[in-house]
Amino acid sequence: MHIHNHFKEEKTNITSLKSSYDLMMLELYYAGIILIMLGILIIVIGMILTILRGGGSVEGGGVVLIGPIPIIIGTSSRIIKAMIIVTVIMMICVIAFTILWARTW
């Protein structure tokens, strides 16, 4: 009986760990959905404000990462500099998250 109780306790510990992991993943899922919705809302508000102000000049830029090589495009040198800064910050975040993820294994 003593051995049977030990296995039962171990099983409940594994079950509680699994449920806390599932809860964390569900929270991350909802956080991701909220961030996507917030991004869409910011874009829509920006478009509405641009229309209400009577147009104006619009600048844009973007970054395409092919492996570690960034391809940066922009409508002005100011936008290109901003895209370079954003690219460096994003690459630092990716490296940091990769290191943190590797430590969990």
Q: What is the pLDDT of residues 40-93, one digit of tens each?
A: 999 999 889 888 888 777 788 999 988 888 899 999 999 999 999 999 998 999
Number of other CB atoms surrounding residue 72 within 10 Å: 17
Q: Are residues 68 and 105 in the same domain?
A: yes
pLDDT reading at 16 higher than 70: no
Q: Do the strands 69-74 and 61-66 form a parallel or antiparallel pair, or are they unpaired?
A: antiparallel
Average pLDDT over residues 20-36: 88
Question: Of 39, 57, 75, which one is at a domain's C-terminal end?
Answer: 57
Q: What is the 3-class SS of the chain, one letter each residue? A: CHHHHHHHHHHHHHHHHHHHHHHHHHHHHHHHHHHHHHHHHHHHHHHHHHHHCCCCCCCCEEEEEECCEEEEEECCHHHHHHHHHHHHHHHHHHHHHHHHHHHHC
Q: How many domains does the chain have?
A: 2
pLDDT of res. 74: 92
Q: Are residues 47 and 64 in the same domain?
A: no
The domain of 81 spans 59-105
pLDDT of res. 43: 92
d(CA 78, CA 72): 12
pLDDT of res. 26: 86
Residue that wins the pLDDT comparison between 23 and 38: 38
Q: Are residues 65 and 99 in the same domain?
A: yes
pLDDT reading at 96 higher than 60: yes
pLDDT of res. 24: 82
pTM: 0.52
Q: Are residues 82 and 45 in the same domain?
A: no
Q: Are residues 99 and 65 in the same domain?
A: yes
- Please name the amino acid found at residue 17: L
Q: What is the dihedral of CA 24, 26, 30, 33, to 10 degrees?
A: 110
Judged by average pLDDT, the poorest of 3-12, 20-29, 66-75, 87-96 is 3-12
